[in-house]
Amino acid sequence: MNSNSTLKIITTVGTSIFTNYQKNEIKKVLGDSYESIDGVLEKFEKLPAYEYQNQKNYGDLNKIKNEIINKWLVGITKNNEEWELEKDSINIYASAEISSLIYLINSNQHKKISIFLLASDTILSVLAAECIKEFFNKNSQIISNILLNIEIKTIDRLDVHSKDSFENVGLPNLSNQIVAIVNNHSPQNANVLLNISGGYKGIIPFVTIIGQVLEIDIYYLYENTNNLIKIPQMPLQINQITSERYFYHLTALKNNLHENANYKLSSEIFNELFNLGLVSQYASKHKISFLGNLFINLVENSLNVSKSVLGHIVELKLFEFFTTNPLKSYPFIERGNELLNNNGKKNKGGEIDLLFRKTTEITLNETIISEVKSFFQFANNVLFEKVLLQFQAKINLLTNNNYLPDEIRFYIYTIDKKDYNDSNSRVIKNRFDKLQEKAGRIRVKFYFVLTEVKKKKISENPYLEFMAEKIEFNRNLKEIILN
């Protein structure tokens, strides 16, 4: 791993920095110098995070912070599992967050580390995060030769005291925040760690799910020991059929398109989304759930414009169809042409899914270049931008190599018959116009391929049904005529 790259450590924050200080053994060691914070902690226990900015709370907040910083984070240490006073010592055992972060910082070779402290929507979690941040800012000697940056992120509505708000608002906000940190750093997640040693126990299972889905290394400080456990990755992957079937509808719900007269979500689809736990009902409205929100983020940020299993099957079925039903004037078909790639080096936009030629001459002039894409790559803004960037790269390669094809085609597959029948919607037409604009004088045409998949049992192979289907014009293949 490159030591010059930045390591990001995402850390959930609880209140162990306070509860550890409250233990009887600490009161005994500190003796007369111990000052109780029990009363003010109880006062703040159920207050939301925004109360941290309330001036009337400043006095009590500063009292807690001063006690923790001056009597708990310094001058006391643990030897042979026993607490004792020691002048000028630094308490690296003050909380699970501090102990685990010190271990993670010192066990990595990175010279630049960014720590993200995720505080829940409670005043005490924010205060704990502030104390942890100050601990590292004041004790830089324990992390020598490392440029350390610490940010506190408060997760709105992540409050275990309100079940509905926690599930329907807080958890989606949590997944959004973690995904944002991961993707703003590295799409490969190579230099991101998730530290779940601290934080309220109620959120740990959900954070673990996020870490597993995003393929982030997860660490946990085991109970009251100094043993940091790495939670191994499970071999998880996206179910492409689920993506094809539900992604467009989930993003429509998220963007409130269901309130638009041009978009209708069938009760059948909604019930499926609800039963899968991808949507929920909150405040008399349908909401994207924690899992639904994570699913959207995963598809948008983890899937690129390369084809899925279903995409390759569609490509093969089209190749089979045009081999037996050749295009007029373009009888020769080739799959996976790489003339735009440089001697094995992959260029963005360099591979051509299906190429139709007039002759066997090795050229892209007077040909039809065809791309196979999923419908939801066109329906979703984030994914379409990726399609657009790849297409622009392909046009640039054609121009730079002095190639001028007669036509470029997009074969867009969908498993939803409604999308197939409603292929001339305003949103989709707008996407097509943008692609034609990029193509310049090269004509662009669009076709829909219907890949109906009705099998729902997990044990059944969802692709077998379509693989057995024959492609036929005007039944499951049609040109999209733009009005």
Structurally, the chain folds into a number of domains equal to 3
> Angle of helix 240-254 relative to helix 290-302, nearest 10 degrees?
110
In this structure, are 254 and 345 located in the same domain?
no
Residue 460 lies in a domain: yes
First to last CA, the chain: 53
Domain boundary among 302, 317, 348: 302
298 and 324 fall within a common domain: no
Half-sphere exposure of 119 (CA within 13 A, CB side): 23
Q: Which of 368, 366, 300, 305 is nearest to 334 (CA)?
A: 368
Based on the number of CB atoms within 10 Å of its own CB, is 448 exposed (0-12), middle (13-18) or buried (19 or more)? buried
Asked if residue 53 belongs to a domain, the reply is yes
CATH number at 202 reads 3.40.50.10770
Residues 286 and 376 reside in one and the same domain: no
Helix (H, G, I), strand (E, B) or coil at 136: helix
This prediction has a pTM of 0.72
- The sign one gets for the Cα dihedral 331, 335, 338, 340 is positive
Between CA 281 and CA 108 the distance in angstroms is 44
Q: Which amino acid is at 110?
A: H
**Same-domain pairing of 253 and 339:** no
**Both structure tokens of 16:** 């162990």
At 269, list the tokens. Answer: 């689809």
Looking at the structure, tell me whether residues 77 and 198 fall in a common domain: yes
Strand-pairing partners, residue 372, are: 411
Cα gap 384→317, rounded to integer Å: 24
Among 302, 327, 354, where does a domain finish?
Answer: 302
Flag whether 77 is in a domain.
yes
Nearest Cα to Cα of residue 220 among 79, 78, 120, 99: 99
Whether 1 maps to a domain, the answer reads no
Residues 32 and 141 in one domain: yes
Residues 134 and 259 in one domain: no
Domain encompassing residue 149: 6-231
Q: What is the pLDDT along the chain (483 residues), one digit of tens a residue?
A: 556 678 999 999 999 999 999 999 999 999 999 999 999 999 999 999 999 999 999 999 999 999 999 999 999 999 988 999 999 999 999 999 999 999 999 888 788 999 999 999 999 999 999 999 999 999 988 887 888 999 999 999 999 788 888 988 899 899 989 988 987 765 444 589 999 999 988 899 999 999 988 888 999 987 666 678 998 887 766 666 677 678 777 877 877 655 544 456 678 888 888 888 888 877 667 788 888 888 887 776 655 444 567 788 889 899 999 999 999 999 999 999 999 987 667 888 899 999 999 999 989 999 999 999 988 888 888 889 989 999 999 999 999 999 999 999 999 998 877 776 765 566 678 899 999 999 999 999 999 998 876 545 444 555 666 677 789 998 899 998 876
Q: Which residues of 61-83 are buried (b: 16+ CB within 10 A; e: fewer)?
A: beebbebbbebbbbbbbeeeeeb
Is 179 in the same domain as 252? no
Report yes or no on 366 lying in a domain.
yes
